Structure 1
């Protein structure tokens, strides 16, 4: 069964082939190292059944006890079935180890036990039932099962009915809107005009926005409204348009330029307007008077930047319309140099769109053609 001619140290003669035997599976510990407690050694030892089987099968494979070395240096690793097989192989040689392994497997198969193979499954088998890793695996499996159940039964029918209802309501509203418009032009407006846009804003788009303006008072009004529109939207500004007209005397440049500081404070308090906005408007009225002395009118001054012909970029999509252009930047710089307030490049570009200096209606919008036909040079 086991080779009894194995030498205790040095070389062993197995099948005429010398094999260098290791001195042992222990490493000497530093001086003063204390042995493990008995309770810890017992907990780290291998199962008793495997230990007894190994001792019964091959007693000669055990190395001779070395009390001195065992007392000085305890084993670094707990004994496992793999380590027992390794000791037998080193002590008895390859042939004895093969016989021992075969007999051990035969016994395990007869007893219906699991072979001591060092794999993840084997490690899990030796793991205590109440360990943290086992609890984590159990929790992960439970969470996965709950997730699959939620995915399988999460209100599919209700969700589909809600989506179908929303889509149906949208198509119904669109059909009613088209039926209410006999010409069907509402579908071709600029894309920022939607069925939910305020009627006041839609009317401004259809009647004023983009049309060329040559009246000084209306130019003054649109310059003021473009300045106060920053940080707000055109709908809210258009709803207060009558307040601005009343506060600034119908945007009469000659009257507004003569407002005193007392009148400015009174207008701000009476109409709920920002004090800085009122002062800026009065300042711009004074600057327009200076432009009139230099150019004859404010109309000639602003239209000279585009050679008295509106720009027509012909945008196809509203996302392509910029917030400022090189032309608005050049106009802004000149107006700032002349002392105007609230005339940044973005404000000036909005002003240019409002008074028709640039036709930013989309090419698919009917107003684009109307503004182009109205863009003939004005009569001097």
Structure 2
């Protein structure tokens, strides 16, 4: 096999740079018009276009033959490459933009360093080397607007502004000063003296509570009750209150009183089925609630035969003395206790209806069998003293 790059001298030929011994008859002289390919052309055909550009820049002299060879090499390399895609075009544009930003930053850094060099004397080490002075303050202006660092700086500035706003409002609330065990409120401008431990109502009474519910808390809730009619009323209302709130029940209290004849135990115990149906239609009450109240009135009449009054029956469970748990926080007040469970079991055994442990505990709170006012509430001492 013959090769165009054959250089023969005597009986020894060089093929691709290697000496090969061949007969004298095989030596063929190369035609004059055929010239070996330039090395730059060979490299461009076998190497990527980027390397060809680098090789072209290293050429010292540019001749017409070299120019034609390099153009031919670039055309051949471009034919071998795949066609450009939108993603590649975008990537190239991104690289170009990044290169422009980097050059702008480098120019800004050089300008800042030049200004600092003119204004300051360069610091030198012991060996005489000059330490470069780098200015980072000017780089913020050349940072892209949507970068992560810019967002972090904006967030930090906002947090600092909010912190300053909070600090500016410190001390603007009502100020208090203690003098000899009394609290003097100076926020309103009038010196109002309150008792030592700053008494207030139970925490479930808020400024937004209904006035009717507040009046019930201040006048009735927790006050010991011994009257059978009032005990029957609170037992009925406690059963109706399940699934509702006391405010809505108190607003309809006059309806229940009218429907149940002022909670007269003897009169309610004589209601017939026809009367109960008419009351349900007239007052819009649940028929089951009316039947339960009538049944409980009948059971109260039976309890009177054994204990004399219904009040003696219920107060016997606490030895005629109200319980006083002395709760400090409303979240500590339970929905039922062991005492309410024992009363509920006995009343269920006697045939009462709507007398579960939770209902009985609410009934005990309402009629003063247990004083569940918080110790900070002024009604706590009042209910304890009235017992």
Fold agreement, TM-score > 0.5: yes
Q: Which residue of 2 aligns with 1:329?
A: 341
Q: Which residue of 2 aligns with 1:205?
A: 217
CA distance in structure 2 between the partners assigned to 1:144 and 1:256 by the alignment: 79
C-alpha spacing 1:189/1:149, structure 2 compared with 1 (3 Å): same
Q: Which residue of 2 aligns with 1:149?
A: 154
CA distance in structure 2 between the partners assigned to 1:285 and 1:310 by the alignment: 24
Q: CA deviation at 1:299?
A: 0.9
Q: Which residue of 2 aligns with 1:191?
A: 203
Q: Which residue of 2 aligns with 1:355?
A: 367
Q: Which residue of 2 aligns with 1:222?
A: 234
Q: For 2:294, which of 282, 298, 307 is the aligned residue?
A: 282
SS at match of 1:188: coil
The aligned runs of 1:196-275 (5 Å cut-off) are 196-275=208-287
The C-alpha deviation readout for 1:331-370, integer Å capped at 9, x for no partner, is: 1111122221111111110100110100111122221111
CA distance in structure 1 between the partners assigned to 2:359 and 2:347 by the alignment: 12
The aligned runs of 1:118-197 (5 Å cut-off) are 142=147, 145-146=150-151, 149=154, 152-153=157-158, 160=165, 187-197=199-209
SS at match of 1:214: coil
C-alpha spacing 1:153/1:213, structure 2 compared with 1 (3 Å): same
Q: CA deviation at 1:194?
A: 2.3
Moved over 4 A (4+): 44-47, 49-53, 127-131, 141-148, 153-157, 178-187
Q: For 1:306, which of 308, 318, 330 is the aligned residue?
A: 318
CA distance in structure 1 between the partners assigned to 2:255 and 2:196 by the alignment: 34
CA distance in structure 2 between the partners assigned to 1:129 and 1:289 by the alignment: 97
CA distance in structure 2 between the partners assigned to 1:238 and 1:349 by the alignment: 18
CA distance in structure 1 between the partners assigned to 2:291 and 2:199 by the alignment: 42
The aligned runs of 1:8-47 (5 Å cut-off) are none
Structure 2 spans left out of the alignment, 5+ residues: 1-44, 57-90, 99-143, 177-185
CA distance in structure 2 between the partners assigned to 1:266 and 1:179 by the alignment: 59
CA distance in structure 2 between the partners assigned to 1:180 and 1:349 by the alignment: 38
Q: CA deviation at 1:303?
A: 0.8
- Tell me the TM-score normalized by structure 1: 0.56
CA distance in structure 2 between the partners assigned to 1:179 and 1:250 by the alignment: 47
Q: Is the 8 A contact 1:185 1:366 kept in 2?
A: no
Q: For 2:51, which of 30, 48, 52 is the aligned residue?
A: 48
Q: Which residue of 1 aligns with 2:330?
A: 318
Q: Indicate the structure with greater helix content.
A: 1
CA distance in structure 2 between the partners assigned to 1:179 and 1:266 by the alignment: 59
C-alpha spacing 1:348/1:291, structure 2 compared with 1 (3 Å): same
CA distance in structure 2 between the partners assigned to 1:275 and 1:304 by the alignment: 32
CA distance in structure 2 between the partners assigned to 1:354 and 1:255 by the alignment: 23
SS at match of 1:195: coil
RMSD: 4.3
Q: CA deviation at 1:146?
A: 4.7
- Tell me the TM-score normalized by structure 2: 0.55
Structure 1 spans left out of the alignment, 5+ residues: 1-41, 54-126, 376-380
The C-alpha deviation readout for 1:122-169, integer Å capped at 9, x for no partner, is: xxxxx86679xx9xxxx9x65774575366458957x959x969x869
CA distance in structure 1 between the partners assigned to 2:327 and 2:153 by the alignment: 50
CA distance in structure 1 between the partners assigned to 2:242 and 2:320 by the alignment: 27
Number of residue equivalences: 255
Q: CA deviation at 1:196?
A: 2.5
CA distance in structure 2 between the partners assigned to 1:363 and 1:322 by the alignment: 16
The C-alpha deviation readout for 1:216-261, integer Å capped at 9, x for no partner, is: 0000000011111112221221111111111110000111111112
